[in-house]
């Protein structure tokens, strides 16, 4: 939900990832060369130059493509090659043979048909499974610990590379395996969001180059009513999902329909109410006044924000744990309305 502006810090993580993958898997190019020769030899193509040109283009781009930023993605050359053989990437291919054997007095090579499609075999040569294990701990270092799309589910990874979440290919691997292990094409997400995006495409790009691009195009506007005078006596009626103008726009609707945002967040009304309770505790008879009277210390605004949120009042930190976007937007709504107890 919160886009990341590519800066030197992020570029450093991208380079860390690329260096580790190349060190662990140094044979990517030779594997691609073998795949190229194999699929040309053992498969019938309307235009045999198509798979050759596609793999050669990928070899020419590797390993620079591992850290290639979105502004530099040149996908037209791959699209042009696919015009020669439109279904090339999704075709099942025979990409090797087991051994030579005699048949009818002749020596023949026994082909080994496999279930892999061409793009799946490309992903294997790029060593995506290894890339995922390397990138998981790096995402943790970056503070990417919640699904980018919904900010509800955790995206955890252990130090030894065990990854407990999925990585969405912004540009689908079945369409652009050339970006299959590109750092900026792999976005942390949970399985449900990944599956929903597969069926309802949404081109929401986490990494951006343009510093003027809106980094948080959507936000939450909880509707809360006070039922009585007692502390924390609040009821969250609904959680609206709107754009910067406070409108459920076509863009909001598309995002909502793809990831089920409104329906999913309806189960988290208590998290909004908890923020209101914390805000009430900061009031004139609450935490701030207590500290002021007892020890002569008046909490700062930042301390009040952190007390209400459980984390610093900084939207850039919403990726560090689930539900931070909702909590941040709730406190901002309180602040903007003048209801924040400071």
Helical ranges in the chain per DSSP H: 8-24, 28-42, 49-61, 76-82, 118-126, 128-142, 191-199, 250-259, 261-265, 269-281, 287-295, 301-309, 324-337
pLDDT digits (tens, 9 = 90+) for 188-229: 999 999 999 987 878 899 999 999 999 999 999 999 998 876
pLDDT for 299:
74
pLDDT for 108:
57
pLDDT for 128:
97
Q: Compute the Cα dihedral for 269, 275, 279, 285 and give only its sign.
A: positive
pLDDT for 156:
94
pLDDT for 110:
54
Residues paired with residue 101 on neighbouring β-strands, in sequence order: 108
Q: Considering only CA atoms, which of 256, 249, 204, 196 is closest in space to residue 4?
A: 204
pLDDT for 340:
85
Helices H / strands E in the chain, number of each: 13, 8
pLDDT for 198:
87
The overall pTM is greater than 0.85: yes
Query: Which ranges of the chain have pLDDT less than 50?
Result: 98
pLDDT for 298:
74
């Amino acid at each position: 939900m919160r886009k990341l502006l590519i800066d030197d810090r992020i570029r450093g993580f991208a380079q860390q990832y690329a260096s580790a993958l190349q060190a662990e898997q140094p044979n990517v190019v030779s594997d691609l060369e073998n795949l190229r020769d194999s699929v040309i030899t053992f498969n019938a193509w309307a235009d045999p130059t198509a798979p050759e040109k596609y793999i050669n283009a990928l070899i020419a781009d590797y390993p620079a493509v591992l850290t290639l930023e979105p502004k530099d993605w040149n996908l037209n050359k791959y699209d042009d090659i696919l015009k020669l053989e439109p279904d090339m990437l999704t075709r099942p291919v025979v990409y090797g043979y087991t051994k030579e054997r005699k048949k009818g007095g002749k020596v023949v090579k026994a082909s080994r048909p496999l279930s892999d499609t061409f793009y799946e075999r490309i992903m294997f040569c790029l060593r995506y499974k290894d890339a995922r294990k390397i990138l998981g701990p790096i995402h943790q270092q970056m503070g990417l610990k919640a699904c980018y799309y919904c900010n509800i589910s955790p995206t955890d990874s252990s130090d030894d590379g065990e990854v407990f979440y999925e990585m969405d290919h912004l540009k689908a691997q079945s369409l652009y395996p050339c970006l299959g292990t590109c750092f900026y094409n792999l976005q942390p997400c949970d399985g449900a969001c990944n599956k929903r995006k597969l069926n309802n495409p949404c081109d929401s790009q986490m990494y951006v180059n343009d510093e003027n691009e809106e980094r948080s195009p959507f936000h939450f506007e909880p509707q809360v009513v006070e039922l009585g005078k007692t502390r924390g006596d609040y009821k969250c009626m609904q959680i609206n999902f709107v754009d910067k103008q406070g409108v459920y726009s076509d863009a909001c609707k598309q995002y909502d329909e793809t990831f089920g945002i409104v329906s999913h967040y309806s189960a988290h009304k208590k998290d909004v109410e908890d923020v209101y309770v914390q805000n009430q505790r900061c009031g004139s008879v609450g935490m701030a006044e207590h500290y002021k009277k007892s020890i002569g210390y008046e909490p700062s605004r930042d301390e009040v924000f952190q007390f209400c949120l459980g984390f610093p009042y900084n939207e850039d930190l919403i990726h560090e744990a689930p539900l931070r976007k909702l909590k941040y937007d709730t406190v901002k709504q309180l602040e903007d309305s003048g209801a924040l107890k400071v």
